[in-house]
Amino acid sequence: MGSLRKFIINFLCSLGFINDRRVILRGPRERLHYPDYPNGPGIIFNTNSGSIFVGNKVVFGHDVMVLTGKHEFDGVSFKKHLPDKNDIHLGDGCWIASGAIILGGVSVGAGSLVCAGAVVTKDVPPGVMVAGIPAKVIKQLNQIPKPQATVA
Ligand SMILES: CC(C)(COP(=O)(O)OP(=O)(O)OC[C@H]1O[C@@H](n2cnc3c(N)ncnc32)[C@H](O)[C@@H]1OP(=O)(O)O)[C@@H](O)C(=O)NCCC(=O)NCCS
């Protein structure tokens, strides 16, 4: 996207005239590493307990939540707990479909697909499709380029 166009869209978003690219950020802005920010239809990024690294060409459906926030709760008291080690990595070329929730401390491998409504609680390898709660691998996508064979 041209930089002037991006500037105008961001400006209109900040005034509330455009909603479809709305990104909601909870927590420090400097912990969100997202080259295309603020491009996301209703995504919530929570950086309260860690950083979020979004790769290149990551596609988001609407209403995705990427949540590093952690708290202490023992059934009686609720305390803020901010270890700053609950980072989330979304690899290049992932598709995070609508309504998916990515929890803290998780990495989604390059080229993987997180299906709509999945809750990702553990690392996702590259090039697979995951679905469900908690998200499980459903199938290989086979789109990861294989390394070239080398001749000794
Ligand atoms: C990614 C997506 C299109 C894949 O759906 P699909 O093409 O039907 O997937 P497949 O045919 O490969 O399904 C393989 C299996 O996974 C299951 N599955 C597919 N999507 C699922 C989901 N979101 N949650 C749980 N299971 C799912 C299928 O039921 C099927 O199970 P089965 O083998 O027991 O029959 C779909 O999950 C999805 O996320 N749709 C919404 C896309 C979206 O967010 N659009 C908005 C703009 S980005």
Q: Is the pLDDT of residue 33 over 90?
A: yes
Q: Is the pLDDT of residue 40 over 60?
A: yes
Measured CA distances, 82 to 11, 54, 86, 104 (Å):
32, 21, 9, 12
7 — pLDDT class (breaks 50, 70, 90): confident
1 — pLDDT class (breaks 50, 70, 90): low
User: Which pLDDT does position 3 carry in this prediction?
Assistant: 79
77-85 long-range contacts, Cβ below 8 Å, gap at least 24?
Answer: 81/49, 82/48, 82/49, 83/49, 83/50, 84/49, 84/50, 85/49, 85/50
Distance (angstroms) between ligand 1 centre and the Cα of 138 equals 9
Q: Is the pLDDT of residue 20 over 60?
A: no
User: Which pLDDT does position 65 carry in this prediction?
Assistant: 97
Greater pLDDT, 105 or 148: 105
Q: Best substitution site from 129, 138, 139 to test ligand 1's pocket, by max atoms within 8 Å of Cβ? A: 138
Q: Is the pLDDT of residue 96 over 50?
A: yes
Helices (H), the chain: 3-15
Q: Which residue type, as a one-letter code, is found at position 113?
A: L
CB 121 within 8 A of CB 135: yes
- Alpha-carbon distance of 141 to 127, in angstroms, equals 5
> Which is the closest atom of ligand 1 to the Cα of 117?
23
116 burial via Cβ count (<10 Å: 0-12, 13-18, 19+)? middle
67-76 burial string, b = 16+ CB within 10 Å, else e? Answer: bbbbeeeeee
Count H helices and E strands in the chain, helices first.
Answer: 1, 16
> Which is the closest atom of ligand 1 to the Cα of 95?
48
> What global pTM score does this model have?
0.83
Query: Where does ligand 1 bind, in terms of residues with CB under 6 Å?
Result: 61, 97-98, 113, 115-117, 131-132, 138
Distance (angstroms) between ligand 1 centre and the Cα of 112 equals 13
> Which is the closest atom of ligand 1 to the Cα of 97?
44
143 — pLDDT class (breaks 50, 70, 90): low
Residue whose Cα lies nearest atom 32 of ligand 1: it is: 138
Strand partners, 10: none
| CATH 1.25.40.10 is right for the domain spanning 21-140 | no
Over residues 82-91, the pLDDT tens digits come to 767 899 999 9
